[in-house]
C-alpha cells in the first residue's frame, strides 16, 4: 500500500465515511492513476477534468457515476493533498433528473403473490412494507422487528442514522410463516453462513419475481422503496411523515414523489380542456 493511499484511507476514516464510500473514492483515484499511468499527486486539474469528460463521453458512464468519481477525486486533492480552492477547483456536473418507474398497487400485489419461497416473499414484503433500502433489509436483525409497537427498527441506515418505519400486519404474518420454517437466530435474512445476506441476492429475487409476474418495468428492487413512498402519498399521508419513514435528510428528496403520484396528476385537467373553442363542442 502506497503512502498516498494510506493517507487517504486515514482521512476518510477520520471523517467516518462508510466503507462503501471509501471504496468508491479509492476506485476513482485508482482509475485516474491508471488512465495517465502516473501517481495522482502529479496529475493537474486540467487532466482531471479531461479524465472525467473521458468517463462521460467515451466510456459512457452515467452522470451519477461521473458525479461519484468527481466527488472522490475532489476529496483526494482537497483533503488528502490539502489543496485550496484557488489551487484546485473541480466544477460539479449537472446531474440528470429522472423519475422512478412506479408499479401500481395491483402490480406490487401480483409480484408478491407469485413468489412462493417463504423467505423470499417475506424479504420482498418487508422491503416494500417498510420502504427499505436493499442495504438496510439485508442487515435487519430478528430483534429489529418490534411486534408490540408494529415498527421496524433500521439501525445505521444511509448517513449513519437510526430510524423506525412501519411494520405491516401482512409483513408480520409473512415473517411468522418464514420464521416457523427457517428459525433465523441473529440476522432476519441470513445468507448461506451466519453473516447477513449478500446485497446481490435480493436483487436477483426481485428480478425473478417481476419476470414471473409479467411486469415490464425498468429498475431493480429499489423500485419497491419508490412504490412505498408514492403509494403512501396517494393514500393521503403527509410528506413530513413519509420523509421520516424513508430516512431522507431533506424533505426535498421526498418531494420528488409529488411528480410521480398518479392521484395528483390524474386529478388535474389539461389547460386545453378549459378552453372554449367557437363552433366546437368541448367533448368532441
Chain mean pLDDT for the chain: 87
Higher local confidence (pLDDT), 95 or 161: 161
Give the mean pLDDT of 26-46.
94
**Residues 155 and 92 sit within 8 Å (Cβ to Cβ):** no
Could you confirm whether 222 is annotated as catalytic?
Answer: yes
Cell of residue 197, nine digits:
445476506
Higher pLDDT, 272 or 181: 181
Task: Tell whether domain 3-80 is in CATH 3.40.1390.10.
Answer: no
The active-site residue, picked from 74, 225, 226, 231, is 225
How many CB atoms sit inside 10 A of residue 150's CB? 13
Nearest-CA neighbor of 213 among 114, 127, 120, 125? 114
Q: Is 48 exposed, middle or buried (0-12, 13-18, 19+ CB in 10 A)?
A: buried
Longest dimension (CA), the chain: 81
**Start and end residues for every CATH 1.10.443.10 domain found in the chain:** 105-262
Whether the per-residue pLDDT at 131 is higher than 70: the answer is yes
Count the Cβ atoms, other than its own, within 10 Å of residue 100. 19
Answer with the residue of higher pLDDT: 50 or 80.
80
SS3 155: strand
Flag whether pLDDT at 281 surpasses 60.
no
Burial (CB count within 10 angstroms: exposed 0-12, middle 13-18, buried 19+), residue 127: buried
Residue 160 catalytic? no
257 part of the active site? yes
pLDDT score, position 219: 87
Instruction: Let me know if 178 is a catalytic residue.
Output: no
Report residue 274 CA to chain centroid gap: 40
Provide the pLDDT confidence category of residue 264 given band limits of 50, 70 and 90.
low
> Is residue 187 within 8 Å of residue 137, measured between CB atoms?
no
Of 65-74, 179-188, 274-283, the one with minimum mean pLDDT is: 274-283
| 23-32, 91-100, 163-172, 243-252: the lowest-pLDDT one | 91-100
- Please give the Cα distance from 123 to 189 (Å, whole number): 7
- The position carrying cell 477525486 is 73
The CATH number of domain 105-262, selected from 1.10.443.10, 3.90.870.10, 1.20.190.20, 3.30.830.10? 1.10.443.10
Give one DSSP letter per residue of 240-258, joined into a string. HHHHHHHT-SSHHHHHGGG
The reported pTM is 0.67
Q: Say if residue 13's pLDDT is above 60.
A: yes
Q: What is the pLDDT of residue 283?
A: 55
| Catalytic-role residue among 222, 226, 249, 280 | 222
Q: Find the catalytic residue in 74, 119, 133, 226.
A: 133
Question: Can you tell me the distance from the alpha carbon of 189 to that of 145, in angstroms, rounded to the nearest whole number?
Answer: 12
Helix (H) and strand (E) counts for the chain?
13, 3
pLDDT at position 65: 85
Could you report the per-residue pLDDT of 230-257, keeping only the tens digit for each?
Answer: 999 888 888 889 999 999 887 877 877 8
pLDDT in tens, 143-172: 999 999 999 999 876 767 899 999 999 999
**Segment 123-151 mean pLDDT:** 95
Which residue among the candidates 35, 110, 153, 158 is catalytic per the annotation? 158
C-alpha to C-alpha distance for 19 and 276, rounded to whole angstroms: 61
Distance CA 137, CA 142 (A): 11
pLDDT at res. 1: 65
Q: Where in the chain is the domain with CATH 1.10.150.130?
A: 3-80
133 catalytic residue (yes or no): yes
Burial readout 101-111 (b: 16 or more C-beta within 10 A, e: otherwise): ebbeeebbebb
**Span 86-113, average pLDDT:** 81
Amino acid at each position: 500500500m502506497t503512502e498516498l493511499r494510506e493517507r487517504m484511507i486515514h482521512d476518510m476514516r477520520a471523517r467516518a465515511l462508510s466503507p462503501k464510500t471509501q471504496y468508491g473514492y479509492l476506485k476513482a483515484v485508482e482509475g485516474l492513476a491508471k488512465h495517465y499511468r502516473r501517481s495522482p499527486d502529479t496529475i493537474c486539474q486540467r487532466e482531471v477534468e479531461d479524465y472525467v469528460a473521458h468517463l462521460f463521453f467515451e466510456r459512457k458512464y452515467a452522470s451519477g457515476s461521473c458525479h461519484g468519481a468527481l466527488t472522490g477525486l475532489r476529496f483526494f486533492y482537497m483533503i488528502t493533498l490539502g489543496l485550496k480552492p484557488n489551487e484546485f477547483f473541480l466544477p460539479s456536473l449537472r446531474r440528470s433528473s429522472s423519475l422512478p418507474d412506479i408499479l401500481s398497487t395491483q402490480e406490487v400485489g401480483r409480484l408478491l403473490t407469485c413468489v412462493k419461497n417463504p423467505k423470499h416473499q417475506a424479504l420482498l414484503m418487508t422491503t416494500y412494507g417498510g420502504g427499505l433500502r436493499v442495504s438496510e433489509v439485508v442487515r435487519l436483525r430478528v430483534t429489529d422487528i418490534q411486534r408490540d409497537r408494529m415498527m421496524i427498527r433500521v439501525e445505521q441506515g444511509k448517513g449513519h442514522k437510526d430510524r423506525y418505519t412501519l411494520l405491516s400486519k401482512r409483513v408480520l404474518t409473512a415473517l411468522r410463516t418464514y420464521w416457523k420454517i427457517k428459525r433465523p437466530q441473529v440476522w432476519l435474512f441470513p445468507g448461506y453462513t451466519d453473516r447477513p445476506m449478500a446485497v446481490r441476492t435480493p436483487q436477483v429475487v426481485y428480478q425473478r419475481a417481476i419476470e414471473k409476474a409479467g411486469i415490464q418495468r425498468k429498475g431493480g428492487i429499489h423500485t419497491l422503496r419508490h412504490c412505498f413512498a408514492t403509494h403512501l402519498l396517494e393514500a393521503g399521508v403527509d410528506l413530513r411523515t413519509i420523509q421520516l419513514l424513508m430516512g431522507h435528510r431533506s424533505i426535498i428528496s421526498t418531494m420528488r414523489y409529488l411528480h410521480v403520484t398518479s392521484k395528483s396528476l390524474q386529478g388535474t385537467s389539461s389547460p386545453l380542456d378549459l378552453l372554449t373553442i367557437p363552433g366546437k363542442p368541448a367533448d368532441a
